[in-house]
Amino acid sequence: MPLSDRLGDLWSVFSLRRGAQRPGYRPDEVSERLRNRILMLYVDLITGRLSTGNYVRQQQNHAVEFWAEMHHALRTAYGKVRLTSLQTRDPAQDAGAFVEKCSPAEFFDFIEASFKLECSWRIFSEENEFVDALNGIFRLESAPYQVTYGAWRTTPAPTAGPFAGHPGSERAAYPTVVRVDEQVPHAEAVAPALSALADPAYAGADHEFRKALQDYRDGDFADCLGKCGSAFESVLKVLCAKNKIPFDPLKDTAGNLIPSVLAKSTLDAGTFQEPFMLVARMRNRLSSSHGGGSKVRTVERHVAQYAVTATAAAIVLLVQDMG
């Protein structure tokens, strides 16, 4: 991986992505019990007491390398030589002490960074199984957060060299902590959409939809609407390509694509055309994707919530129906 990409991964953590907090944003909170439950789970995985996957493997203790690498990752993200002012004997202890007392946002940085270490694949051999365990703790504590699944995409097989003829894989998305307010049915709408978009064919739409979720959490509600519309339009274009529906990838917008896609689907056009058109119209009329002239566009949280869930539901319905 190029150095710039590696540094970009380390700099892309929860607290640094949020930017300035906007009106309507609720401060993050992490109870002591929630923090302890998550840290105890990490200790069990890092020391080999527990493991992911269905196979039995030799227990290995990765504590030393995990905390040393975590120290490097967090100090790179924050631009600090030390993470605490405590008298610690080594970087690993400094990192451990930091995670025990850091702010909620910094604690989420720790969770995200844990998937980006060189030793991560040895500790979390089934990455998304560990994500499920983390999300189970958030639900148990009624905390409004979830960790999204990590995703990989298949790369074309090289034509020469020792791996000729064997497709490879590359990281499409790291697990990310997102805020899930009680009004947003994450399990029923957002999570299935992210699962549907994990197909490498939908890489562009997946990126746009994840950015929409990030904008929603940050309070960028107008931008959230814009990215929801872009994600939906990208899905429509992929479905056109998959189902050999003629379209102009440079000129056709969601409004042009929806009738063509519905005509090839098993869905009733009279029932679903207007709901799908609404997802596109929200971007055109309410988001910051198109200029509003002299009028300042203000999008409220509840409107962005509707956009996220409506987009997610439309994506799941169409992908399940047409592939």
Q: Where are the domains of the chain?
A: 1-148+167-179, 183-323
Q: Is the pTM of this model over 0.85?
A: no
Burial (0-12, 13-18, 19+ Cβ within 10 Å), 182: exposed
Helices (H), the chain: 3-11, 14-17, 32-46, 63-78, 91-101, 104-113, 120-123, 127-140, 191-196, 203-218, 221-242, 254-264, 269-286, 301-322
Q: How far apart are CA 9 and CA 308, in angstroms?
A: 26
Interval 29-70: pLDDT, tens: 899 999 999 999 999 999 988 888 765 455 689 999 999 999
Q: For residue 175, how many C-alpha atoms fall within 13 Å in the half-sphere facing its CB? A: 26
**Tens digits of residue pLDDT in 218-249:** 778 888 999 999 999 999 999 999 999 999 98
Residue 164 vs residue 102, higher pLDDT: 102
Domain topology for 183-323: Four Helix Bundle (Hemerythrin (Met), subunit A) (1.20.120)
CB-based contact 122:59 (threshold 8 Å):
no
pLDDT above 70 for 304: yes
Adjacent-strand bridge partners of 168:
155
- Amino acid, res. 55: Y
